[in-house]
Structure 1
Amino acid sequence: MQKAIIQLETLSCPSCIQKIDHAVKKLERVDPNSAKVLFNSSKVKANFDAETVKVEKLEKVIEDLGYSVIKTKVKAA
């Protein structure tokens, strides 16, 4: 497992958190218990199986909701 830390544009409302959280948690090969959206820092953290899913898939799901990804870090979980 790898841990993705995705920096987003500034989040402006609590409903943004719910949309992103729901979308990331339902992605296949993402640990739903590890997925967190941090409102104050505008970050998404999630553990995922890097052998079967690429971090770009997580970024795409977030961008498809209308939120800009600024940068992403991936490290061992």
Structure 2
Amino acid sequence: MKTVKFQLEPLTCPTCIKKIEGALGKQTGVQEAKVLFHSSKVKVTFDETHVEVETLRTIIEKLGYPVLSEKIA
């Protein structure tokens, strides 16, 4: 398992949390997706044999939330 943290542009509403966590949670290989609303970060724990970081980034950006940076922990 790996963990990646995405820094997003500032989030404006709490419903963003459910939208992002829900979309990432449906992706095969994602164990946990957690949005940190006040810091506009998304922390995703995933199985790198089933999903790539770029796929996770694409999911977030397709929802309309630009990713400013990412850091794999």
TM-score (norm 1): 0.89
Q: Structure 2: state its 5+ residue gaps.
A: none
| Structure 1 residue ranges, 4+ long, deviating more than 3 angstroms after superposition | none
Q: Structure 1: state its 5+ residue gaps.
A: none
In 1: Cα distance, 2:33 partner to 2:19 partner = 13
**Is residue 2:1 matched to residue 1:27?**
no
In 1: Cα distance, 2:59 partner to 2:19 partner = 10
Q: Partner residue of 2:67?
A: 69
TM-score (norm 2): 0.94
Percent identity, aligned pairs only?
A: 51
In 1: Cα distance, 2:50 partner to 2:16 partner = 27
The answer to which of 43-52 and 2-11 deviates more is: 43-52
Structure with more helix by fraction? 2
In 1: Cα distance, 2:45 partner to 2:20 partner = 15
Instruction: Give the root-mean-square deviation of aligned CA atoms.
Output: 0.8
Alignment of 1:1-77 (within 5 A): 1-31=1-31, 34-75=32-73
- C-alpha deviation, 1:52, in angstroms: 2.5
